[in-house]
Amino acid sequence: MTRLDYMFFEYGEENVRRWCTSLRIFRLCKTYPYPNDMHPDRFIACIHFSADEELDRIMQDLELTEDTNRPEQSRFRLYNEKTSAGWQLLNGLSIYMTINKLLQVITLEVSGTESDQFKLDETTFDRAKKIEEFILKLDLVFNIPPQDDNYCFSPKYYPELWEIK
């Protein structure tokens, strides 16, 4: 079974096709296999920045607030001078955000449902869509695809998803 077949089986072919083709910067990404399966299937967007001043401007434009509904260990925090990660609210919606100053990227991940952090459904897609609508209004540069491998369902790796039937 291919990765795409698995996604069709898991979430329904119609849903996967609609989710993939309805989003401009977020991409549906499958979790990596064991032992790297600590992340769920999710929607990912990646914002590029070129200097700390630009990062500061982007962070201000995103209007982030702390996601107080998350356990203490999952809240956004600085891990070292180059990496920060954790749960935030962007436009009032929950995201997992990672800032990597070495790679000069901000990665936004939308995953899970209220009852299961490893499940995707229409509410997860709607959250990604609303976040995308908000960040597309900002002056940002996006890495497309956000995850450059075939675990990321993008036109680069899965052009058949974007073909008109």
- pLDDT for 43-81, tens place per residue? 999 999 999 999 999 999 999 988 877 766 677 888 888
**What's the whole-number average pLDDT of the chain?**
89
- Say if CB 57 and CB 100 are below 8 A apart: no
Residue 133: C-alpha distances to residues 41, 75, 150 (Å): 21, 24, 25
pLDDT at 2 (0 to 100):
87
pLDDT tens-place string over residues 123-163:
999 999 999 999 999 999 999 999 999 999 999 999 999 98
**Count of structural domains within the chain:** 1
Question: pTM of the prediction?
Answer: 0.92
The range of the structural domain enclosing residue 130 comes to: 3-162
The single-letter code of the amino acid at 124 is T
Mark 60-77 as b/e (b = at least 16 C-beta within 10 Å).
Answer: eebeeeebeebeeeeebe
